[in-house]
Amino acid sequence: MAIRNIVNFGDTILDKKCRTVEKFDRKLHMILDDMAETMDNANGVGLAAPQIGLLKRIAIIDIGDGLVEFINPEILETSGTQDGMEGCLSNPGKYGMVERPNYVKVKAQDRHGKWFELEGEELMARAICHETDHLYGVLFTSKASRMLTPEELEEMQNEDEE
């Protein structure tokens, strides 16, 4: 496994649509393993392939209850809304308020090509929407009602330290 470089906002690769994954081979597994290590190293809860420079429909999420790998994910159903803070490993230190569905049902393939369905609420629903958006070249800043001010960020950090 290896830690890959994370692409930052401003790089046009993040604005592009990703291609469907067709081969579920060792190369894919290596990408997935590298993505997991890269995300862990950056203390993130989600990472999409374009963020390591690959235009492939691959995303991973770990909100603290286990890693989920999503290949070729498609959102099937959403309901409710939540308004909350969101950030991205490709835009370090910046957070915005983004409205998302409170419930999401998604289908995707696992690393062996097997389809599965998964339901998520709250943070999981937010993460699924955020990472799926990446695969269409959509960044959270385009959906944010506003970005947090430096004062609000400082307050947030103080809360974390308490």
Where along the sequence are the contacts to Co ion (CB under 5 A)? Answer: 88
What's the Cα-to-Cα distance from 60 to each of 33, 57, 76, 79, rounded to whole Å? 10, 10, 18, 22
Q: Which is nearer to Co ion, 21 or 45 (CB)?
A: 45
What's the Cα-to-Cα distance from 144 to each of 2, 21, 66, 115, rounded to whole Å? 32, 29, 27, 31
Q: Which is nearer to Co ion, 88 or 124 (CB)?
A: 88
**DSSP structure string for 62-106:** -SSS--EEEEEEEEEEEES-EEEEE--TTSTT--EEEEE-SEEEE
What pairs with residue 96 in β-bridges?
86, 147
Q: Which is nearer to Co ion, 88 or 98 (CB)?
A: 88
Q: Which is nearer to Co ion, 68 or 88 (CB)?
A: 88
Catalytic residues: 131
Is-contact 104 144, C-beta < 8 A?
no
Cβ-closest position to Co ion: 88
What is the closest distance, in whole angstroms, from the C-beta atom of residue 27 to Co ion in the complex? 23
